[in-house]
Structure 1
Amino acid sequence: MFWRDLPQLTAVAAVWIYWSSVLVMVIRSHLRYKTQAGAVPHTAKEIAMWMIWVPAILLWQFVPTWANQAPPWAGEAAISFITAPVALTQTAALQPLRWMGALLAVAAFAATVHCWFFMGSNWSMAVVPSKDTGLITQGAFSRVRHPIYALSIVLMLGTLITAPSPAVAVLAAIHWTMLTLKTLSEEEFLLSSHGDSYARYMKRTGRFFPKLIVPAEAPVKAEPASPKARKSVVKRNAA
């Protein structure tokens, strides 16, 4: 039973709390900062993604709970798709791995909370063209451009380890794909908003994981001083 499988229960609880917290963040953004949080997408690309991604996220809340026992209304084909093989969930030797997956999910949620508060009023679920957002390059963002999305991938990975059914694997693939497409959309927007600053930031950071080798930034070439400035320097040196 789901309620007796502690690794699975822990991972699912982390998922439920994570997305409940996202809802709280949306409300907080409206009430505290008086800004849009992107709960409703504004661009055509993100509207199309939402049509696939939102159902997948909703299924993420429930499908892992069926890994040990399918719901009574499921047919034979559905049961084989949404339940995990008994050998992967009930074998004693694999329980430490499943606990590692559960703890991974909890750690991903905890680290995400830190990132949320670090972003403050700059946080949003989607691109909001009318929102004036700053460029955050400190903390977790100093090496990774999208640490929150990276942690969301880790949360999904923890779910898959504790509830390794074919259905969860498909949801994981959809989630990773949608996150990748979303980052491309956001980076396009941020490049148009912040120009060279964001382009330089992209060169020294990874999308989801830190770059192993960070290229050195080209030194800024100093412009020659004007004749008037050169005379001023000579006078100061002479004094």
Structure 2
Amino acid sequence: MYLFVFYCIFLVALFVIPSYLTYKRTGINPFKFSKEETAINYVGKAYKVISAIAFITITINAFTPSQMLFLTPIESLKSDNLVWIGYGLLHLSFITIFIAQRNMANEWRIGIDNENKVNLITTGLFGISRNPIFLGVIIVFIGLFLIIPNVVTAVVLVSGIIVIQVQVRLEEEFLIASLGDEYKEYMAKVKRWLL
């Protein structure tokens, strides 16, 4: 049950509330995915599906754990130590994303904002990684897989990493086109992830 409660708090505290606050402060809707047939919008749809599958899996685990057998558990990875590592990663990701969002302040967006001026954030965690929020999300997927190792969470992990990699590269293309040398200089100084 703890995982379910944590994940609900995670979604509300790190996505719903910051998006609402950004909208209230700026009048800009931070959700920038649309129904147009573009690569970034397909990424947004894929990410929604992956997030929904993760949430459904966590819900099943919390309320009807006997049904988890149908998700093909990976018995060799079931370990109390891995579960504790998984929870540690979830909490690390929460802190990472929370701090990175505070660093972004009014620049918080989900998707690519073609309508408003883009201001580059290079301080705080963005001085260490160009994508600390995406890094935090990947850490969530790893943590979830360690806590509930099964075929579904493995698919969530692998597909989540692929979708995030695509989104990061699309956003980089957009930022190079929008900011030019400013973003190229930032790319030269700060790694995409950490290494």
Deviation per CA, 1:86-125, whole angstroms, max 9, x where unpaired?
A: 5543xxxx21221121121012112211111111100100
In 2, distance between residues paired with 1:118 and 1:41? Answer: 26
Partner of 2:111: 126
The number of residue pairs the alignment matches comes to 190
Partner of 1:109: 94
Aligned partner letter, 2:171: E
TM-score (norm 1): 0.73
1:175 equivalent to 2:160? Answer yes
* Displacement of 1:201: 1.1
TM-score (norm 2): 0.88
Partner of 2:17: 24
1:36 to 29, 43, 47: 29
In 2, distance between residues paired with 1:206 and 1:146? Answer: 9
Unpaired runs of 5+ residues, structure 1, are 4-8, 72-78, 212-239
Q: Which moved more, 1:117-126 or 1:48-57?
A: 48-57
Partner of 2:73: 84
Deviation per CA, 1:50-96, whole angstroms, max 9, x where unpaired?
A: 2222111111112144454217xxxxxxx44x14245543xxxx212
RMSD of aligned C-alpha atoms? Answer: 2.0
CA contact (8 A) 2:131 2:192 kept: yes
Aligned partner letter, 1:37: P
> Structure 2 vs 1, CA of residues 84 and 191 (structure 1 numbering), >3 Å: closer, same or farther?
same
Partner of 1:50: 44
* Displacement of 1:162: 0.5
Q: Which moved more, 1:13-22 or 1:98-107?
A: 13-22
Unpaired runs of 5+ residues, structure 2, are none
Partner of 1:145: 130
CA contact (8 A) 1:102 1:162 kept: yes
Deviation per CA, 1:158-182, whole angstroms, max 9, x where unpaired?
A: 1110001111000111111111111
CA contact (8 A) 1:70 1:83 kept: no
Aligned partner letter, 1:19: L
Partner of 1:70: 67
In 2, distance between residues paired with 1:205 and 1:155? Answer: 23
* Displacement of 1:140: 1.0
Deviation per CA, 1:171-214, whole angstroms, max 9, x where unpaired?
A: 111111111111111111111111111111112222122x3xxx
In 2, distance between residues paired with 1:87 and 1:146? Answer: 32
In 2, distance between residues paired with 1:206 and 1:143? Answer: 7
| Structure with greater Cα Rg | 1
Identity %: 19
* Displacement of 1:143: 2.3
* Displacement of 1:146: 0.4
* Displacement of 1:18: 2.0
* Displacement of 1:45: 1.3
CA contact (8 A) 1:145 1:207 kept: yes
In 1, distance between residues paired with 2:32 and 2:121? Answer: 21
